[in-house]
Structure 1
Amino acid sequence: MSINNHPYIASPHNMRVKQWSSLLDKKYRDRTGQFIIEGVHLLQEALKSGASISVIVYDADRGIPAELLAPIYKEAANGVEWVKASSSVIAKCTGTDTAPPVFAVVSKLKADVARLFAKQSLVVVLDGIRDPGNAGTIIRSADAAGAHAVILGKGCVDLYNPKTVRSTMGSLFHLPIIEADLSELLTQAKSKGVKLVGTSLQATNTCYSYDWQQDTWLLMGSESEGLSAEVESMMDETIIIPMAGQSESLNVAMASTVLLFEAMRQRGFSK
């Protein structure tokens, strides 16, 4: 991979740079069907997953990160355009205080909706989760616990918000994440015998007494408002996370993680 053949862009006012930086704005992501990923780790995960990458831009002063020169990544990047750029260009196109050594432009992901109804389905459904850090962390936890998919309903933060993407730590490339109308999908799930479960402080069943081995979709609402009335009305069962200390509650990302790992324990780590 010879960097001598890669074009160099120095000015943040370059037309291509303006196009790339516009992807920090949702309306341009929606218009183009593309988004930005930042940093070596996210790029590695995108390459391994076979995501559609149109261009990789790296800091000319620092060179191509050594990790990306490994054979597996060099092969995966065949046919992808490489561009070297000034640090000011990198800074304009990324959303962090400290500019990463590399970023890439990626096509939005196509989710395999069939996995929603896999055998022993475990799906996380987010309703009105607006904080990108919480949404990204839940996606990461769902990936770690072996969930089949994550659904983002109306009112949720955009999956391709740069902060959400960073918070997933690459997990958005590992499992289907679907942005959808919840009323339609939840109705379909119920018709297939899926249990719709959510948390409630008034619940009598704990997350440890619930049978997570059955087809289950976990419904999680925003911390400030909880589930919308429409989604809450569709729940089959409510559960509570018991706490021994004096804390009133966990934030939605922490609560989701506890519930997902209890599901994982029951499904494969019961001993």
Structure 2
Amino acid sequence: MPLTETVMDNPRSQRIRRLAELKERRVRQRHERFLIEGPQSVREAVACRPDLITDLYVQAGEGPQPSGTRFLNPIVSVIAESALAHDHIYVHPVTARVMKAISTDAQGIVAQGDTRAMMVDPSDLWTGHDGPADSGDRQCRGGEGMIAAFWQVRDPGNAGTVIRTADAAGCRALVLVDDCVDPLNPKVLRSTAGSAFHIPILAMGTEAFLDWAHRLGYGIMAADVHGTPERRPTSLPDYLDRSGARGDPTGPDDQTEHPGRDMVALFGNEARGLPADLLEQVDSIVSIPIYGRAESLNLATSAAVLLYGLAMSSRIERI
């Protein structure tokens, strides 16, 4: 799409006010649009999910500029040039005060995305379709294997961090279960460092999640310190050792090839963990041992330890 020639310089215009209001969930829901802030997130969205983006707002350079340079710095210039390769993306130069009115976390560039294109229909993973075809040079979709799920995660920073961790651990998808923070919250997206555009993100209620996982043919492994009186957790080292990199020995027969393969790893709320009635419905419960004097690990650290433990065990077995 051709670059808009006129530099937008009115921070009080209706268009700019509407963009700034997308920080609020009710506004995102009403207009079915969301903000992507900062060079890293925008770069990954343009590279991996350009279908999401409707408009790009890039801070114009001030003062004398090298020949051919229109924007604040070379980093945002490269991203803007990449966006211009897509016919449906409008690129708008804006002044510094307009950019500040849109977002104080923009670092010179923001994009407007379409919420309808962002969220994945759970049925798509039944057919093996993980989202739109990769339009970039790098792999930007989830592949076969483990799925990470988080029940009632409420903190935006935590949600963004666990999305980034699930992406790094090679998860096929990430599921936000029950009453979670909005994954399109700008703080969540910034915390993912672009990973929100690499793997499918799904959202569903608890019962729908349980039904979906079982229809997908995946066992559910819950991460929980205490388990229930009837079901005590297996420690993660014992789980990996006893399974011999072949899955949960206490799980169903079809979960016996590799830990993490064809499995959903389920994590609970930051403060309350997982409720007993939900733990009674999973296939296995695993705890992360504490070797020092700390009372517990926080959600983001627990997710990193467990997801990476499963991911590395699976890959070691393949060698």
Q: In the alignment, is residue 115 of structure 1 matched against residue 125 of structure 2? A: yes
Alpha-carbon distance in 2 for matches of 1:120, 1:100: 35
Q: How does 1:154-169 map to 2 (within 5 A)?
A: 154-169=178-193
Offset at 1:68? 4.5
Offset at 1:87? 2.1
Alignment correspondent of 1:237: 284
Alpha-carbon distance in 1 for matches of 2:101, 2:150: 31
Offset at 1:200? 2.5
Alignment correspondent of 1:27: 26
Offset at 1:69? 4.2
Offset at 1:213? 4.3
Offset at 1:24? 0.8
Offset at 1:9? 2.1
Alpha-carbon distance in 2 for matches of 1:6, 1:154: 45
- Structure (1 or 2) with the larger CA radius of gyration: 2
Alignment correspondent of 2:212: 188
Q: In the alignment, is residue 104 of structure 1 matched against residue 133 of structure 2? A: no
Normalising by structure 2, report the TM-score.
Answer: 0.76
Normalising by structure 1, report the TM-score.
Answer: 0.88
- Report % sequence identity: 27
Range moving further from structure 2, 16-25 or 223-232: 223-232
Contact 2:150 2:268 in 1 (8 A): yes
Quickly say closer, same or farther: Cα 1:229–1:92, change in 2 above 3 A: farther
Q: In the alignment, is residue 179 of structure 1 matched against residue 203 of structure 2? A: yes
Q: One-letter code of the match for 1:106?
A: G
**Count of residue correspondences:** 268
Contact 1:115 1:176 in 2 (8 A): no
Alpha-carbon distance in 2 for matches of 1:223, 1:91: 33
Deviation by residue 1:138-180 (Cα, 9 ceiling, x = unmatched): 0001101110111112221100111000001111111100111
Alignment correspondent of 1:59: 59
Alignment correspondent of 1:206: 235
Range moving further from structure 2, 155-164 or 192-201: 192-201
- Structure 1 runs not aligned, ≥5 long: none
SS in 2 for 1:6: coil
Alignment correspondent of 1:7: 6
Alpha-carbon distance in 1 for matches of 2:277, 2:234: 22
Q: One-letter code of the match for 2:273?
A: G
Alignment correspondent of 2:159: 135
Offset at 1:8? 2.0
Alpha-carbon distance in 2 for matches of 1:52, 1:213: 30
- Structure 2 runs not aligned, ≥5 long: 63-70, 129-142, 227-231, 241-246, 248-258
Contact 1:206 1:239 in 2 (8 A): yes
Offset at 1:231? 2.9
Alignment correspondent of 1:47: 46
Alignment correspondent of 2:82: 73
